[in-house]
Amino acid sequence: MVIRYNKYKMKLNRKIFREYDIRAVYEEDLKGDLPYYLGKGFGTFVKRSGRKNVCIGGDNRSTTPEIKDKLIKGILKTGCEVTDTEIVPTPVLYFALHNYGFDAGLMVTASHNPPEFNGVKMVVGNKSLYGKDIQNLADIIEKEDFETGKGQYLKKNVTPDYLRFMLGQFKFKKKLKVAIDTGNGTLGPTIVPLFEKLGIDFIPLYTDSDPTFPNHLPDPVVPENLKDLMKTVIDNKLDIGLGYDGDGDRLGVIDEKGSIMWGDMLLIIYAHEILQKSPGAKVVFDVKCSRALEEEIEKSGGIPIMWKTGHSLIEDKMHQENAPLGGELSGHLYFADNYYGFDDAVYASLRLLQILDSTGKKTSSLLEGVKRYHSTPEIRIEVPDEKKFAIVEDLKNLFTGKNNRISDIDGVKVFFPDGWALVRASNTQPALVVRVEAEDSDSLKKIREMFLATIDRFL
């Protein structure tokens, strides 16, 4: 296929250059020449940072091969070398970056978004790009201020080394009974042979790669998407259910009773284990997590650090704080303890299975003694991108004016005597994200109704 590029001043929709990745509807903002110019911009950014070796991968979406091909052509035009890992889960690309020492990486993915979306995650020097760096990249493209050169193109199958690494890290004494649901995303063809080689007794759900996602969207934060996993665990009396998102970097867990264990509860389990051997260590978590997480970290002798939501932001904060563990309510879980410090749902699930194997406990029992607050799941309210940040700012001003105690680390988190409520602008979707937590069900209902009614006034 010959791809021709128009010579004109690049017109960008700056809204697709989000806080920690590029994300858009393909037909509106990612088809045509943009991926080629994005490749030239990224190659330029890499060269100006004193680097030149880029690896690239992509998820299983139908638009990914075309976008990836154009990105590669653009990068090569800057003189950077490109190694194509082809279709892989995001953690496999990140593993390749660390394991082989590439200077930079690009992952073409829209993660859990519907099929019409696609996007790009970017890493330079083992640091995920976010914020100003992504805006600087957009500036380079708009100005067509590109480096030039002739790069070399290579292909490399990195999955076998990833599998060998995992097989070397994990061994299980007993046959755990597990269900896995990859939602027809990119991860199925990687995790199925891994679990088989590890001797795990598992029931696979929707592990075939299918970019139409015919059964449910691969988003384990949405309870509706976990119904089949719950049923499989209960009907077959399994130890645990593991759900994964579209590109394999987020984990959802169902315990043996069929209940959802959100990311903050998983962090409690991991923190208990890590803080036993590393007392005084820091644990980084996002603003949506339960107060119970902070309490358990402190009880276990650790230092809790609340930070902004977003895979690049949590990862960067972990590096700054030298924290061995980090995570988000959404199921992004980061281990710098015996691993590379990026979000890998496969590694996170195997760490959890290892804890079950070593303790002999049931999954639900891993949270015995933890105070249970009442909370909502993530509530997403569709709001145009051009309005969502202004609405959050208006709400912050309103609650500040009422003399409420607030945190504005990310959005606005309002504290009440019997709970808290959070609203923040999603960095991946045209939406506001709301979560409420309280001491009891009555307080939760009261705070939730008041908070949502207040938000509704600004929509």
For residue 351, what are its two tokens?
Answer: 């760490």
Q: How far apart, in whole angstroms, are the C-alpha atoms of residue 289 and residue 44?
A: 38
| Angle of helix 345-359 versus helix 90-100 axis, rounded to 10 | 90
For residue 397, what are its two tokens?
Answer: 């001003």
Q: How far apart, in whole angstroms, are the C-alpha atoms of residue 162 and residue 179?
A: 22
Q: How far apart, in whole angstroms, are the C-alpha atoms of residue 284 and residue 419?
A: 21
Contact between residue 90 and residue 345 where contact means Cβ atoms under 8 Å apart: no
Active site residue 380: no
Q: How far apart, in whole angstroms, are the C-alpha atoms of residue 72 and residue 108?
A: 11
Largest alpha-carbon pair distance within the chain? Answer: 65
Catalytic hit among 18, 23, 272, 435 = 23
Q: What is the DSSP string of 47-69?
A: HHTT--EEEEEE-S-TTHHHHHH
Contact between residue 74 and residue 43 where contact means Cβ atoms under 8 Å apart: yes
Please name the residue ranges forming H helices in 112-175.
132-143, 159-169
Active site residue 364: no
Active site residue 98: no
Q: How far apart, in whole angstroms, are the C-alpha atoms of residue 66 and residue 29?
A: 14
Catalytic hit among 18, 61, 111, 250 = 111
Whether the CA torsion 2, 68, 16, 135 is positive or negative: it is negative
SS3 of residue 379 by DSSP: strand
SS3 of residue 272 by DSSP: helix
Q: What are phi and psi of 444, to 5 degrees?
A: -60, -45
For residue 78, what are its two tokens?
Answer: 């800057």
> In whole angstroms, what separates CA 106 from the centre of its chain?
15
Q: How far apart, in whole angstroms, are the C-alpha atoms of residue 307 and residue 275?
A: 20
Q: What is the DSSP string of 173-232?
A: SS--EEEEE-TTSSSHHHHHHHHHHTT-EEEEES-S--TT-SS--S-TTSGGGGHHHHHH
Catalytic hit among 61, 216, 332, 435 = 332
- Residue 304's H or E segment, with its range, is strand 303-307
Q: Residues with catalytic annotation? A: 23, 111, 332
